[in-house]
Amino acid sequence: MSITVETKEELEKAMKNGEKEIVVIGELAEKLHKSKKVTKFGAPTIAALTAAIAAAPFTGGISTTLGVSAIATLTGLEVAVIIGVVFIGISLLIVLYKDYEEIEVDMDKRRLKLRKKQK
């Protein structure tokens, strides 16, 4: 049996409850799928990305665009990936993809199915 989530908070709760299958829908599914790349980086790159995101001027408007663009240049990541990372959080992404694997991806329907990895 699986649980369907649409928000970051619902995802965190499902993970905390140890759900075996989680179906993520909507914008969160898109951001998770795009942001998966970050979890494959080594510790130094993740630390640099975390520092760059923390230092970015999230004041809105042009300064935000310039900050995200600078992070993209430094890390080689697409802007959409960085926005997903900022929205979801690096630590949640790392824990999610350490404990769960993508088993179905349908970005046309904005749907992502995750299964808890067997230990």
Q: Residues, the chain, total?
A: 119
Q: Give residue 108's pLDDT.
A: 95
Map tokens 């690096």 to a residue: 90
Which whole number is the average pLDDT over 104-116?
95
C-beta of residue 49 within 8 angstroms of C-beta of residue 75: yes
Distance of alpha carbon 101 from alpha carbon 115, whole angstroms: 5
Percent of the chain whose pLDDT exceeds 70:
61
How confident is the model at residue 52, as a pLDDT?
Answer: 64
Mean residue pLDDT of the chain comes to 79
**Residue spans per domain, the chain:** 2-116
What's the pTM? Answer: 0.71
